[in-house]
Amino acid sequence: MHTETELKWALDAAGHAALAQRLAELLGPPLQLAQENRFYDTADRRLRAAGLSVRVRRENGRLLLTCKGRGRMARDGTGTHRREEWERELPAGSAEPLAELLPERWRAALGDGRLQLLGGFSNRRQQWRDGPHLLCLDDTDFGVRHDYELEIETAQPAAAHARWATLLAAWGIAWEPQPHTKLWRWLALVG
CATH value of 2-190 in 2.40.320.10, 3.30.310.50, 1.10.287.3510, 1.10.10.10 = 2.40.320.10
C-alpha 181/C-alpha 71 separation (Å) is: 9
User: What is the structure's pLDDT at 191?
Assistant: 77
- The Cα 71–Cα 51 span in angstroms is 8
Q: Are 150 and 53 in contact (CB under 8 A)?
A: no
Q: What is the mean pLDDT of residues 125-148?
A: 97
Beta strands at 2-11 and 80-90: parallel, antiparallel or unpaired: antiparallel
Nearest one of 79, 86, 80, 100 to 53, comparing CA atoms: 86
Contact 52, 106 (CB under 8 A): yes
pLDDT digits (tens, 9 = 90+) for 59-88: 998 999 999 998 888 889 899 999 999 999
Rounded to whole angstroms, what are the CA distances from 2 to 67, 83, 86, 124?
Answer: 11, 8, 7, 25
What's the chain's average pLDDT? 95
Domain boundaries, the chain: 2-190
Quick: pLDDT tens for 111-129: 999 999 999 999 999 999 9
Q: Is the pTM of this model over 0.85?
A: yes
Residue 56's pLDDT band (boundaries 50, 70, 90)? Answer: very high
Cβ–Cβ under 8 Å, residues 169 and 104: no
pLDDT level of residue 95 (50, 70, 90 thresholds)? low
- The CA angle 101-56-144, to the nearest 5 degrees, is 155
CA distance 68 to 183: 11
State pLDDT tens for residues 154-173.
999 999 999 999 999 999 99
pLDDT at 91: 84
